[in-house]
Amino acid sequence: MRQILQTPTPKALYILVIIFLGGCGMIVTKQLLVRDIRLSGFNKEYIAVQNTDVLAGPGKTEVVDTLVVTHHGVAKANAVKLGNIKTTGNMPYKSLFFEYNSVFLVWMSLISIMIGISLALAPVIIKSIKDLVRIFSIPGAAVWQSIAAVLLLGGALVYAQQNSYMLQAFDIMDRFKILLYHPGALNIVVLTSLGVGLIAITGKLIINYAVGKLPERITGMSETEQKKVGEKFLLLRNQLKFFLLVDAILIVFSILTTDALRRSILTEVTFSIDIFPDNFVYLYGLLFTFFLGLLYMPIYYRLRYKGATMLHDIPQAELDGDKKTLSAIFLIQETPMQSLQVSLAILAPVLTSLAPNVLKI
């Protein structure tokens, strides 16, 4: 039984697949972004902001403001391939591009790393979920219910991003013809990272089902059976932390890339209004901190309560003596360092959103 509970040692091929997916995801994403760079030119645009709900006359709309946009490129935007643009001394122009907008290079690197991590984690997460389903005999109906709930959650997250009163980062890039020729393609990157995060959330829901598979009491069991239940309990604790860490890492990278893209846009153009305030990044971090806590804390406390109830009939004297090992397993009493790790994982999104401005990065 002990061999059944333990995750089998990963084979060399499995490790190579993880490394291959992560490496290819990072390198391919970086190369595609480099090839898609758009060179902007120095110019000004005056854009009329109209209120289409109030008619100023037959066939006309009311102008409520004028938006001034200044592009800061050092060369005019031409339909010339990046490699064909040369400067004095035959220096590739792409070097100068990253000189005046180096934060865009940081953004490209971050988003490439995020894709690499996402693709590398995907098989690990899926394997962890399969192990949980096998070890705890989770019925297929429960698995599909978890998947359906996560898909609904993912759809709600995507729908929540829609807003007719503000321009999204990709909309700004497309409207003002800056940074990339095909910013809409970045939605694939977003959906890839979101998809891996949702798989990890599915794992948390599977853990919620698995908690119900644990016995109500361990009194009356043999010592061997108690140890087997203890191994299952520890497995759930560790997997829950693992899935929390996965979501925290992906969300942190999402916030870092959002902030870097905001700075890249503002380096490329100047608006007469604050079209991409840093408050948006703060709000993004705050919402996802709440999101992580909402998904983690109820399952964590259910597992903690389950562990305590399984020892309910055992006298405290035994828990302090012969049963001390079981007490350490089922009574979740985390050390200050362990509590700090979980707290930082949950608070990571909001701390990440504040860090660039606080540290003047």
Question: Do 169 and 255 meet the contact criterion of CB atoms below 8 Å apart?
Answer: no
- C-alpha to C-alpha distance for 353 and 256, rounded to whole angstroms: 7
Question: Do 95 and 294 meet the contact criterion of CB atoms below 8 Å apart?
Answer: no
CB burial of residue 134 (10 Å; 0-12, 13-18, 19+): exposed
Question: Do 66 and 38 meet the contact criterion of CB atoms below 8 Å apart?
Answer: no
pLDDT of residue 359: 52
* 184: its two tokens: 């809409």
- C-alpha to C-alpha distance for 270 and 105, rounded to whole angstroms: 19
* 331: its two tokens: 């009574």
Mean pLDDT by groups of 10 residues along the chain of 361 residues = 48 82 90 82 67 56 67 48 46 56 87 93 93 93 93 83 74 84 89 91 94 85 83 91 91 87 83 74 78 86 86 63 67 66 72 63 55
pLDDT of residue 153: 87
pLDDT of residue 160: 73
pTM reported for the whole predicted model: 0.79
Amino acid occupying residue 55: L
pLDDT of residue 82: 47
Using CA atoms of 63, 64, 70, 76 in order, give the dihedral in degrees to the nearest 10: -20
* 205: its two tokens: 């829901």
Question: Do 260 and 31 meet the contact criterion of CB atoms below 8 Å apart?
Answer: no
* 302: its two tokens: 């259910």
**H helices of 178-321, where?**
186-211, 223-268, 279-310, 316-320
**Cα distances (Å, whole numbers) of residue 221 to 166, 217, 228, 230, 318:** 61, 9, 10, 12, 15
CB burial of residue 335 (10 Å; 0-12, 13-18, 19+): exposed
With a CB cutoff of 8 Å and minimum separation 6, the contacts of 109 are: 30
Amino acid occupying residue 156: A
Question: Do 122 and 196 meet the contact criterion of CB atoms below 8 Å apart?
Answer: yes
